Amino acid sequence: MTGLTTFLRFEVLRLLRNIRYVGITVGFPVVFYLLFLNDEHPAAQIAGTTWRTYFMVSMASFGAMVAALNASGTRLAAERASGWTRQLRVTPLPAWSYVSTKIVAAMVIVLPVIVLVEFTGFLLGGVRLGVGIWISLTVVLWVSSLPFASLGVLVGFVASSETAYPLVTALMFLLSFFGGLFNPVRSLPVVLRHVAVFLPTYHHAALGWAIVAGRAPDLVDIGVLLAYAILLGLAVTWRHRVEESRALA
């Protein structure tokens, strides 16, 4: 087990030291939150809560996705290209540990990002919630970010080191825009509303919107995210097998 924790620590530290990664991950959701606070109508209501609370959840969800996708996508593709993944295979680390560590490392970063956006909401957005709500919001958004972490790893396996970065960026914006993280889904054109219900981002944020409005999370949201987690997990396992069965150069 010491080998695994050593490797996990190494991965997390490398992420935290990457200024561009931290900048995108922390900067995007916080800056967007402050930009769209809607100071003219501070008491605007939406979906059973204030706009500022609702949008804080949207940005926490956005931040979680950005952190998870960027944690592995580009980096993993580059490490496959450089030969580092192969070098790791000739150490005592078990074969499955590379992928699982990437996913766990992404999850480790996701948690503080969610907390940071919530803190911004509390401090600068004037969001006030009960302690129980804060805690359940944080835990639910965190745990349900797993599909994003798997998606990042999958992109890293499928893409080359050149295509990974544009692919991650495109996914980030498509998933957040069409998932209703920037505009409420109701304000999107009808066609796009039908797209949103298929996206993990929409269901991820919906879990949080329900919690802050004092509602129980919708089983459909949980079901869709679970399905995404399972499908992406299987896809990652399959890609990893393919990669592993490849002979040496």
Partner 1 sequence: MRLHHGHPARSDEVARLAVCFRSVVHRYGSLVALDHLDLDVARGETLALLGPNGAGKSTAISILLGLQHHDEGTVTVLGTDPRSAMASGHVGAMLQVGGGSGLPNGVKVGELVAMVTRLYRNPAPVARTLGRAGLTQLAERQTQRLSGGQAQRVRFALAIAGDPELVFLDEPTVAMDVEGRRSFWSMMRDFAGEGRTVVFATHHLDEADAVADRIVVMRQGTVVANGPASAIKAAVPTRRLRFVLEEADQAALCDLDGVDVATVRGSEVVLDSFDADATLRALVRHGTSFRDIEITGAGLEQAFVALTGDLDEITTVDDAVAPRGSGASSENPT
Q: Which residue's structure tokens are 């993993």? A: 76
User: Which residues partner with 45 through β-bridges?
Assistant: 50
Tokens found for residue 98: 């590379």
Residue of the chain from 31, 44, 45, 87 that contacts partner 1 (CB under 8 A)? 87
Binding mask 13-52 for partner 1 (x = CB under 8 A): -x--xx----------------------------------
- Count the neighbouring beta carbons within 10 Å of the beta carbon of residue 73: 28
Give dist(CA 228, CA 29) in Å, integer.
23
Q: Is residue 92 involved in binding partner 1 (CB under 8 A)?
A: yes
82 binding partner 1? (CB under 8 A): yes
Query: CB neighbours (10 Å) of residue 51?
Result: 20
Q: Is 1 in the site for partner 1 (CB under 8 A)?
A: no
Task: Give the residue, chosen from 93, 158, 195, 235, that forms a contact with partner 1 under the rule CB under 8 A.
Answer: 93
Q: Which is nearer to partner 1, 234 or 244 (CB)?
A: 244
8 A C-beta contact, residue 160 and residue 79 = no
Could you identify the residue written with the tokens 């956005």? 62
Residues in the site for partner 1, rule: CB under 8 A? 2-3, 6-7, 10, 14, 17-18, 75, 78-79, 81-84, 86-87, 89-94, 244-245, 247-249
